[in-house]
Structure 1
Amino acid sequence: MAEAPWLTIIGLGEDGLNGLSDASREALAQAALVMGAARHLALLPDLPCEVVEWPVPFADGIALLLAQRGRRVVMLASGDPFWFGAGSSVARHLARQEWRALPAPSSFSQVAAALGWPLEQVTCLGLHAAPLSRLRPHLAQGARVLVLVRDGAAVGEVAGYLTGLGFGTSTLHVMEALGGPRERLRSMQAGDYSFSDVCHPVAVALEVAGAGRALPVVAGRADGFFDHDGQITKQAVRALSLAALAPVPGELLWDIGLGSGSVSIEWLLAHPRLEAIGFEADPVRAARALRNAASLGVDRLRVVEARAPAGLEGQPLPDAVFIGGGLSDGLLRDLWRILPQGVRVVANAVTLDSEALLAQWHAQAGGTLTRLELSEATPLGRKRGWRAAYPIVQWRVVR
């Protein structure tokens, strides 16, 4: 028979011992040591074993826990430890046979049950230590979002954030200590928010409403969503570039000549498991791209302040590369040296020199060479005429 795991991670609800399963009760009874936050320990009666309060910050407690190998240890966590919980932070340090988890209903499940919301149709976010801007992609008329926040003050910050974006008529359902004797549910519009006595643990359920501008869900978002100095891949060309890059969940993009960051940001918005590294030599543009990414809810954009190809060395190898600036024969040669086979490369050219370069590389390496010509209707005297933009030559190829 396999040896029992030395660590049991127990999900604890606000009703303390009353809500625990028989297996969780048995684990507590057999434990030589129980570790948990002060709030969790206070939910349980006096325990006969050694009790250690989990330190703040949370990461400081992991080494303390790992030092207990060989003893029967219980770690207390909130609700479901593996849904925006502490379970994964600990489990990544252990072999699978060293631990087991006994979850309780998650905060999201309890909120949905309290409001009668179908959980599968609701966006769930944990923003204890994450920026509120991660809400941005989900703010659209009629959307429902469940948010876990660090404390009562953070609820006011959520209300202010929504109001500042034009969603002040959104309803906030503020829920404290769900499932326990301190449970409380109150509702108020974001623009009128005035609660000053909200206590931890707290969850907020949002019913989004208002005249705020929602982010479209497909690539080619309006240029106005991005702060820029003119160095931006324009909306229509960006949409075609993202289609050529063809992001797949879990992939990494290199964005060379980052500019405003619009291509990387739209790549990241396509799926939460996508990653991107932008290369930008101009520190002002690099900082602007990071601000754009944060304001649109994808603060995971990484920026390397260096000119390619020098900045490429030592970086994680990508699945796709976009060249929006700095195109040269030397850059392409270095990319062909660095990149493994199978990487998708998309390069846009606007000058005759860069167009000739792409034509040369297309002849050597294959791929698809496309000329994009766009025109807009503009006033022409009393009538209208077509104003042509500079044509773009786009090369897409698989290394």
Structure 2
Amino acid sequence: MNPTPPTVTVVGLGADGWTGLTPAARHALTAAGVILGGPRQLALLPPECEGERIAWPTPLRPAVPGLLKAHAGHRIAVLASGDPMFYGIGRTLTEVLGAPPRILPHPSSVAYACARLGWAVEDVEVVTVVGRPLARVAAALHDGRRLIVLSAGADTPRDLAALLRERGFGPSCLRVLEQLGSGEENEVAGTADGWGAAPGDPLNVVAVDCRRAPDALRLGAVPGLPDTAYEHDGQLTKRHIRAATLGALAPAPGELLWDIGGGSGSIAVEWMRTHPSCQAFTVERDPVRAERIARNADRLGVPGLRVVTGAAPAALAQLTTPDAVFIGGGLTAPGLLDACWDALPAGGRLVANTVTLESEALLADWYRRHGGELVRLTVAHAVPVGTFTGWRQAMPVTQWAVVKGGPLNPNSPSGDAI
């Protein structure tokens, strides 16, 4: 016989501890046979919470199923910081249990911070660096935007100020809000350029009023970043072609891209910058370029980009099924197009760019067989011609874009291949 599933209640706890809890939250804790939480949270509970207190082990996520199974049939209370469903344990428990537990939320640190600052919550972007790279903040940096950064500890404000200076946002105003909701609230303010405050309380969030330095490179929110935003050796999908390519790839939140022949990583980087939930693998056989891609991803705020050093198609074998594939190099490698096509699910997109006649012939054949859209993209730049100005034509790029299972030829009323 299977043991009775545990009864789990998640209680959001603020910095004010027991005194800030509702009667329902207090009852859930005093009635629990087992209380799970971090050591700091458990220490805030009074003696009348008589259940067995168990501190979360590290790493936490793999331990959750075993702890719940070990206490099957008991009333379990789980302590969370603030709102359990806002970057909290509530999500993990819902996934493990297969259904949401009973959740008694407390105001989140973001709610407290916006209340203290007078900032409208809907106008603020929240970035957490708890268990995540600080470089993620870079993708949210735009002049005039307001950020709330959920700190990983006492050193986060100092490290964040350094990142802002490095990314050209030194004039930004920082306000470190400590122990929000408790009787020991404290605030430290300054600019990133002038930041010199010593590390304070580890329980803090940082409010950032973003201000770009006048001489800093401006990075927009849509694909087509300036070429100078990237470190590269010439292997870079140039700005205007990159914008058209991302338009054809059409990233949507939560989708995964394979970027094959990564070069400088620009396609994968800008795919991931379209939404925080977008993911990408970039495959690059040159180890030097692979390292360069990782640096570009970190600098441009998408450190989660996964760089695979190896040659396609062999390097694709262990990758997660993509929603879209971009081939920027190596089109004529035996079996590459076939491997990418086979990996795509129905409705997946494939976009391939080339500048060579040999690869163009290959794309024309695939277009004939599978439809999609075959276009030639040309860009010319104005350059000095003596004392005048003329056009310098860049190499034309042939691009094939197709949806697997889509119409054979969208330009034909019948949908027949040509």
For the aligned pair, the TM-score class normalised by the smaller chain equals: over 0.9
Q: What SS does the aligned partner of 1:230 have?
A: coil
Q: What SS does the aligned partner of 2:97 have?
A: coil
CA contact (8 A) 1:259 1:280 kept: yes
Which residue pairs with 2:413 in the alignment? none
Which residue pairs with 1:351 in the alignment? 356
Give the drift of 1:79.
Answer: 0.3
Give 4+ residue runs of structure 1 displaced > 6 Å after superposition.
none
Structure 1 range deviating more: 222-231 or 47-56: 47-56
Which residue pairs with 1:264 in the alignment? 268
Identity %: 45
CA contact (8 A) 2:328 2:352 kept: yes
Alignment CA distance shift 1:87-1:380 (3 Å): same
Q: Any unmatched runs of 5+ in structure 2? A: 405-418
Corresponding residue to 1:341 among 327, 346, 350: 346
Alignment CA distance shift 1:115-1:243 (3 Å): same
Is structure 2 residue 390 aligned with structure 1 residue 378? no
Amino acid at match of 2:369: Q
CA contact (8 A) 1:137 1:214 kept: no
Alignment CA distance shift 1:346-1:204 (3 Å): same
CA contact (8 A) 1:371 1:391 kept: yes
CA contact (8 A) 2:351 2:402 kept: yes
Amino acid at match of 1:383: F
Amino acid at match of 2:303: D
Which residue pairs with 2:51 in the alignment? 49
Q: What SS does the aligned partner of 2:96 have?
A: coil
Give the drift of 1:194.
Answer: 2.4
Amino acid at match of 1:374: V
Which residue pairs with 2:33 in the alignment? 32
CA contact (8 A) 2:5 2:72 kept: no
Q: Any unmatched runs of 5+ in structure 1? A: none
TM-score by length of 2: 0.90
Mapping of residues 124-273 of structure 1, within 5 Å: 124-211=126-213, 212-273=216-277
Amino acid at match of 2:292: R
Q: What SS does the aligned partner of 2:207 have?
A: strand
Q: What SS does the aligned partner of 1:244 have?
A: helix
Give the drift of 1:195.
Answer: 2.1
CA contact (8 A) 1:137 1:215 kept: no
Structure 1 range deviating more: 27-36 or 258-267: 27-36
TM-score by length of 1: 0.94
Which residue pairs with 1:314 in the alignment? 318
Give the drift of 1:327.
Answer: 0.6
Corresponding residue to 1:369 among 357, 369, 374: 374
Which residue pairs with 2:10 in the alignment? 9
Mapping of residues 296-315 of structure 1, within 5 Å: 296-315=300-319
Q: What SS does the aligned partner of 2:362 have?
A: helix
Number of residues of Structure 1 aligned to a counterpart in Structure 2: 396
Give the drift of 1:136.
Answer: 0.8
Give the drift of 1:364.
Answer: 2.3
**CA displacement, residues 146-171 of structure 1 (integer Å, 9 cap, x when unaligned):** 01112222211111211222322211
Amino acid at match of 1:233: T
Amino acid at match of 1:125: V
Structure 1: how far apart are the matches of 2:218 and 2:140? 8
